């Protein structure tokens, strides 16, 4: 096949496979609501460069006037790419992984983020960070198959190695609600439930080996501190019991959970036909939500032997993570670089409400066309003249939203049963703070 490339006023013929051409450009075909063919830039993880200087990005000021109605109230550029992030209990510090084997901790000082600590123990990329609210401990998981628990003593963070007994990378980590355990998902088709053994003064890892047929991409603790939900690249969402004698206590209010043995599967949800990501529980634990790489989001009520499931199909790119704002609102983030709002209608059916950020450019807009033309020109220059697009002479144009690349992590900021603020981070190296208080059309749902 011969592709026609328009470079300025010059039209040139170039024989190439269309599939290979699109793959090299990291573009994806998708059909929009108007049946027109659209292109979407798929970001990818690239090695992060070490940022210059000890001080971090400046904190964007709170917006005033007409801008108060905007949901994104602050945008912080910390690195070239961010794998994951977590906030301190008082929200005065943030821990990020700049897509390498380090954790950078920043503190907000006089409207500027200052780097105060760098945690260095892992040998490979850190894939998960969680900062406990009650004990002020940080847990990290990495592709090096290990996990560390960091204790803040004086002015230093002291690491404690947790041997997970994995033969593949650790992919995600989360503290339990009571913070006496944490769960680690891995590429070894297992989930590690880790707890502290006081007598021996170390962290012990118990493995849930059965059931998973592929990598565990995310974990989420039920409010009862016993059940843990997982998603996997085998397309399934599962709920397991993690009751450990001597660590957990039997509660008469939740006898069903405490009667289950460790590793017992409570339910398996076969709703997705593709990779599954980003599982979360609602504040009450009555509803479960997760996403599939087939641009679907799933909601499950009455998790147990007879669950009630709903799914919402999206016209847009797949999601990567979700967050329950309340019992009646969910925020989904992913490859569209724009948070999506979901809520149930009067009949209890979950539906897509709107994008939270500014409207994205359409295929017919001049801005969209210029972005696509720029991508074609860069690729042609690379193949024809060996030019590099990393020389900094021709930076890519902005998408116009708060995020410029895939959003991979979403964390709550204010509220517990009703979250009004949350933060997102992505492959563009940004952390964006969102506020729902000024979104008048969403207040009735909150």
pLDDT score for 178? 95
Predicted confidence (pLDDT) at residue 252 exceeds the cutoff of 60: no
What range does the domain containing 147 cover?
A: 121-270
pLDDT score for 208? 95
pLDDT score for 62? 34
Tens digit of each residue's pLDDT (9 = 90 or more) over 98-109: 999 999 999 988
Residue 160 lies in a domain: yes
Predicted confidence (pLDDT) at residue 65 exceeds the cutoff of 80: no
157-171, 258-272, 280-294, 378-392: segment of lowest average pLDDT: 378-392
pLDDT score for 404? 93
- Report yes or no: 206 and 213 within 8 Å, Cβ to Cβ: no
Structure tokens, 350: 């979950």
pLDDT score for 179? 95
In sequence order, what E strands does 102-169 have? Answer: 102-109, 112-120, 126-131, 138-142, 146-153, 156-163
Residue 190 — very low, low, confident or very high, per pLDDT cuts 50/70/90? very high
Residue 142 lies in a domain: yes
pLDDT score for 306? 84
Residue 2 — very low, low, confident or very high, per pLDDT cuts 50/70/90? low
- Report yes or no: 142 and 157 within 8 Å, Cβ to Cβ: no
148-157, 241-250, 365-374: segment of lowest average pLDDT: 365-374
* Average model confidence (pLDDT) across the chain: 81
Give the pLDDT mean for 32-51. 33
Tens digit of each residue's pLDDT (9 = 90 or more) over 18-28: 444 444 444 43
Interacting residues of 151 by C-beta distance below 8 A, sequence separation 6+:
137, 157, 158, 160
24-33, 270-279, 316-325: segment of lowest average pLDDT: 24-33
The alpha carbon dihedral of 193, 166, 268, 219 has a sign of: positive
- Report yes or no: 332 and 293 within 8 Å, Cβ to Cβ: no
Residue 86 — very low, low, confident or very high, per pLDDT cuts 50/70/90? very high
Predicted confidence (pLDDT) at residue 90 exceeds the cutoff of 60: yes
pLDDT score for 55? 40
Residue 399 — very low, low, confident or very high, per pLDDT cuts 50/70/90? low
325-329, 393-397, 404-408, 415-419: segment of lowest average pLDDT: 393-397
In three-state secondary structure terms, 9 is: coil
CA distance 217 to 425: 17
75-89, 254-268, 327-341: segment of lowest average pLDDT: 254-268
Structure-model confidence comparison of residues 15 and 217, the more confident one: 217
Structure tokens, 352: 């897509």
The owner of tokens 């962290």 is 203
Q: Which of 371, 378, 374 is nearest to 400 (CA)?
A: 371
CA distance 192 to 65: 49
Q: Which of 208, 196, 200 is nearest to 260 (CA)?
A: 208
Structure-model confidence comparison of residues 5 and 77, the more confident one: 77
What percent of the chain stands above pLDDT 70? 73
Predicted confidence (pLDDT) at residue 117 exceeds the cutoff of 90: yes
CA distance 332 to 340: 5
What percent of the chain stands above pLDDT 90? 61
pLDDT score for 305? 81
Predicted confidence (pLDDT) at residue 379 exceeds the cutoff of 70: no
Tens digit of each residue's pLDDT (9 = 90 or more) over 321-370: 999 999 999 999 999 999 999 999 999 999 999 999 865 554 445 544 45
pLDDT score for 373? 63
Residue 136 lies in a domain: yes
pLDDT score for 443? 78
59-68, 79-88, 280-289: segment of lowest average pLDDT: 59-68
Beta-bridge partners for 233: none
CATH of the domain at 207: 2.130.10.10
CA distance 29 to 22: 8
Tens digit of each residue's pLDDT (9 = 90 or more) over 204-213: 999 998 889 9
Give the pLDDT mean for 146-170. 95
Give the pLDDT mean for 262-275. 93
Predicted confidence (pLDDT) at residue 293 exceeds the cutoff of 60: yes
**Reduced to 3 DSSP states, what percent helix, strand and coil does the chain have, rounded to the nearest 5?**
10, 45, 45
pLDDT score for 53? 38
CA distance 324 to 332: 9
**How many structural domains is the chain composed of?**
1
CA distance 363 to 36: 8
Interacting residues of 83 by C-beta distance below 8 A, sequence separation 6+:
45, 97, 98, 99, 125, 126, 127, 408, 409
- Report yes or no: 126 and 102 within 8 Å, Cβ to Cβ: yes
Interacting residues of 20 by C-beta distance below 8 A, sequence separation 6+:
none
Main-chain phi, psi angles of 368, to 5 degrees: -65, -45
Residue 24 lies in a domain: no
218-222, 393-397, 413-417: segment of lowest average pLDDT: 393-397
Residue 298 lies in a domain: no
End-to-end CA distance of the chain: 53
143-157, 175-189, 230-244, 356-370: segment of lowest average pLDDT: 356-370
pLDDT score for 266? 94
């Amino acid at each position: 096949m011969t592709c026609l490339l328009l470079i300025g006023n010059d039209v040139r013929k170039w024989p190439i496979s269309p599939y290979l051409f699109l793959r090299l450009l990291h573009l994806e075909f998708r059909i929009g609501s108007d049946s027109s063919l659209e292109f979407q830039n798929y970001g990818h993880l690239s090695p992060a460069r070490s940022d210059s200087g000890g001080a971090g990005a400046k904190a964007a000021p709170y917006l005033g006037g007409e801008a108060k109605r905007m949901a994104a109230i602050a945008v912080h550029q910390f690195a070239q790419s961010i794998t994951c992030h977590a906030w301190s209990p008082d929200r005065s510090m943030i821990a990020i992984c700049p897509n390498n084997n380090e954790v950078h901790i920043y503190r907000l000082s006089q409207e500027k983020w200052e780097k105060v600590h760098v945690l260095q123990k892992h040998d490979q990329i850190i894939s998960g960070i969680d900062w406990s609210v009650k004990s002020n401990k940080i847990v990290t998981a990495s592709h090096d198959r290990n996990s560390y628990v960091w204790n803040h003593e004086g002015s230093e963070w002291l690491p404690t190695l947790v041997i997970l007994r994995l033969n593949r990378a650790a992919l995600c980590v989360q503290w339990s609600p009571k913070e006496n355990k944490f769960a680690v998902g891995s590429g070894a088709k297992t989930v590690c439930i880790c707890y502290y053994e006081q007598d021996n003064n170390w962290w012990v890892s118990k493995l849930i080996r059965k059931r998973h047929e592929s990598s565990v991409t995310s974990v989420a603790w039920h409010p009862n501190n016993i059940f843990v939900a997982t998603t996997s690249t085998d397309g399934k969402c599962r709920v397991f019991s993690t009751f450990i004698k001597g660590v957990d206590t039997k509660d008469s209010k939740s006898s069903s959970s405490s009667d289950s043995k460790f590793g017992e599967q409570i339910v398996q949800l076969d709703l997705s036909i593709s990779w599954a990501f980003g599982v979360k529980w609602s504040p009450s634990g009555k509803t479960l939500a997760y996403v599939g790489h087939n641009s679907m989001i799933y909601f499950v009520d009455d998790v147990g032997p007879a669950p009630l499931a709903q799914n919402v199909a999206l016209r847009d790119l797949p999601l990567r993570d979700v967050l329950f704002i309340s019992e009646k609102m969910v925020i989904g983030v992913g490859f569209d670089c724009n948070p999506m709002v979901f809520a149930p209608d009067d009949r209890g059916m979950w539906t897509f409400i709107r994008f939270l950020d500014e409207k994205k450019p359409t295929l017919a807009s001049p801005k969209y066309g210029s972005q696509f033309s720029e991508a074609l020109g860069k690729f042609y220059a690379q193949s024809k003249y060996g030019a590099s697009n990393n020389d900094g002479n021709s930076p890519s144009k902005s998408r116009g939203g708060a995020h410029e690349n895939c959003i991979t992590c979403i964390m709550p900021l204010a509220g517990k049963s009703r979250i009004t603020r949350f933060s997102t981070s992505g492959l563009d190296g940004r952390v964006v703070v969102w506020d729902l208080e000024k979104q008048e059309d969403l207040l009735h749902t909150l």
